[in-house]
Structure 1
Amino acid sequence: MERKKFIRTMAVVSLAPALLLAACKDTGRRKTAEGAVKTYTCPMHPQIVQNQPGTCPICGMELVPFDKNNKTAELTLGDNQVALANITTMTIGAGALANHKQLNGRLTTDPEQTAVISSRVAGRIEVLYVKETGVRVTKGQPLYKIYSEQLASLQQEYLLAVAQLRQFPGDSRFQQIEKAARQKLSLYDQSEAQISQLLKSQQVNPYVTYPAAISGIVSALTVSEGQYVSEGGVVMRVEGYDHLWVEADVYPAEVSLVQTGQPVKVVIAGWENEPQTMTIQFINPALQAGSQLVQVRGTIPNPGQRWQPGLQASIFLPVNSKGNVLSVPVDAVIRDGKGTQVWIEKAHGKFVPRMVSIGMENADVVEITGGLQAGDKVVVTGAYLLYSEFILKKGADPMAGMSK
């Protein structure tokens, strides 16, 4: 009996290590199986993490799988991926940086290139040679013909004065009457050639044709054929667009930043790649009616008349500048609630995020005050794609846990 008990005891003791080893292997297999479970996150909200597919409770996007065990803050992309994402880099260095203040403005017509065509005589519009607005006219081109009884009377008066002077050539009084009658015709836009023709034909012509005083576009037409107009009545307005005014609004506290003769940059909406240089020509000393704004003005050329009055424009006023600073393009900087970040290319195809401190900036570049040094290779286009790719692959914000 004691012998059998001894044998059973020895068997248990000899099997215990094997059972323990098997249990450990089973535990390892279970852990491995647990580690192989996929983890899912939201591309827009990396704080959402779960072990099964679904939708984001914040934005409703489909969750995507990611490898939660890969914690390296680095992305490796192939040449094809870099080309498809349009990722480009630049090596930064120190240089000058100017800051600008943006003013809202607009293009308007230049009054010096505007002519109001009015009737010199009272009468009836017999013929309109231009019957609609938007028509281009050239200087000297006939615009309208008017019938004027008053002009006919003046012509008849002049013919009588000339006849009297011929009867009494030495009479100074008749000389003065003839001169006065001729002067009246000149005031009614009768040219020397027309007066000479009147003397030659001895026929009264009650019609007078008015030409365009300048070349430009007919912007307003206030009469129609057959309509009677008074002396001085407006018939049409012609505007030239070879040069345009740029008017900008400035708050009174900022007027000290603007000076007459100061060069500024003008960017017209739709032509952002073609900035214009303008000189400030006038600063209105009074506030605009109904607002607390001061108006400043300058002139820009309008080659080919490609811009129209009324277009919006932005005026960039130099405020201050710095020399010998590190700067990167605005698109290279990613900003969120955790700070500002850029992406660095450490080696070919290897990109890492870098927290940075920024300073002065303008519409094109941003000053880097910390986090980078001259010679770093910074991603200037495609930074946001790298940011999104990092979240998709790592399931975390690349700025998480980073410090400047």
Structure 2
Amino acid sequence: MNVRTTIGLGVVAVATLGAVGYGAWTAGMRSGMEMGSSQPAPRAASAPQDPDAWSVVQGGEATARHLRDGLKAGDVDPVTGRVILSYHDPMVPGKNFEAPGKSPFMDMMLVPRYAGGANASADTGAVAVSPRIQQSLGLRTGEVVQGTLAGGFSVAGNVAWNERNQVVVSARSMGFVEKLHVRAALDRVAAGAPLAEIYVPDWVAAQEEYLAITRMPGADLGPLRDAATQRLRQAGMDAAQIQHVVRTGTVQPRFTLRAPISGTLTELMVREGATVMPGMPLMRLQGTATVWAEGQVPEGQVAQLQPGAKVSATSPAAPGQTFEGRVQAILPEVDPATRTLKARLELNNPGGRLVPGMFVQMRFAEPVRQPALLVPSDAVIHTGRRSVVMLAEDGGHFRPVEVRAGREAGGQTQIVQGLQAGQRVVLSGQFLIDSEASLRGLEARLNQAPAAAAPAAAADLHRTDAVIDAVDGDSVTLTHPAIPALKWPGMTMAFRLPPPEQRPSGLSRGDPVRIEFHTQDGAEPQITRIERVAPPAQGAKP
């Protein structure tokens, strides 16, 4: 091989290597560019989510994410930017947990509770309500003030006879009614007016004996005269009648029965010609100088009344006239329907204008005013076991506070204990706030008493169809559909059964049932009624 051929082969080899290297470099650059262009662009940071707007299902999804990412109470959730306070089961709001996981009560995930939101005050029993919800609920608030209650109070009542002014006119001797000067009940009579003429035969002999002794001569007739006078008294004659016989010197077999008081004849028990016996009641007279007025006084105002306290009354039957009187007695009996006591008042009745059955409005005298802590009466809720007000705090938070209420007057209630001047209380919508707290799993319960909770009211009962998964003593596991009233999704969960005598016998797995139940803080829902139903149609959901 000559030199020229060798040089030519070298040039060709160099050119080939250069072409291959350039191609490889070009391909590598293109591949690198494609790989660079195929990588996803960095995501823009998303805005934090508001957990207060989550449903129960979304809350359960958040708990599952916490479980996957290793988050727990005290950590910051990167999705919401808030500190996780605890985890809870919305169906059992009284229980809190430090770690995420499934509910030990229901077949569902726990729901996280965050700081700085509507649930931030759960541990203090408060609930935060946004201004928008406050407006939709129509919340009104009022201030706790230091002041004095409006003096006195009024109650309505009815007039009745004053039974202490009643007189029964009776016969003192056996005789006959010859004439009546009064003819009918409710006739008005004046004191001393004649009522009846009565003939008494037994008086004749006694009066003749007395007159005969007075006509006898002698100085030692005193004992005889005294004995004759005593027999006149025993016959039924009073001192005035005896003096009349002595003065006239004649026998008086008849006498006129006169009215001992002014008033009204309320009962006439004899007629002309009737025979009367000693002690027999003839008629009944009722004095009208004073009358009774009986009014129903609320329990909370009885403490302001004392026997002898002044009172004034007005009646539509006597416009412009005021009748003065005093409290005679507070009768020891409470009306269980109205929770009132009956106050008996004695009113002056000039001219007899007040008669039984008339309506009167009674105004009790103003007691001594003393400074007190006052709230509008609409703010106080009486649950039967205690008195509660809903306290409005800063930041739209509301918290129920137990108070000791005192007197009530003029739309204001005295607060003896539980509040301070300057605080604000809710005047309307308290139970709507309580319902909001219940939906969020808070423990702010207006009707929650220190003792065991009372049975649920009819308004708190819920109904649903379900299928039995298992029965274990007094507990049953049911699969039920969604319950919108409680914002519950369809799930499998445990319920407490009613007593054996109040439930069907032989309940077993697969039985379709219809239940009526109420929720309980810190416990399984309590079934109050359970009954079997026909199996659902083929393909229908339980």
Give the TM-score taking structure 2 as reference length.
0.36
**RCO greater where, 1 or 2, for CA within 8 Å and sep 6 or more?**
1
Give the TM-score taking structure 1 as reference length.
0.47
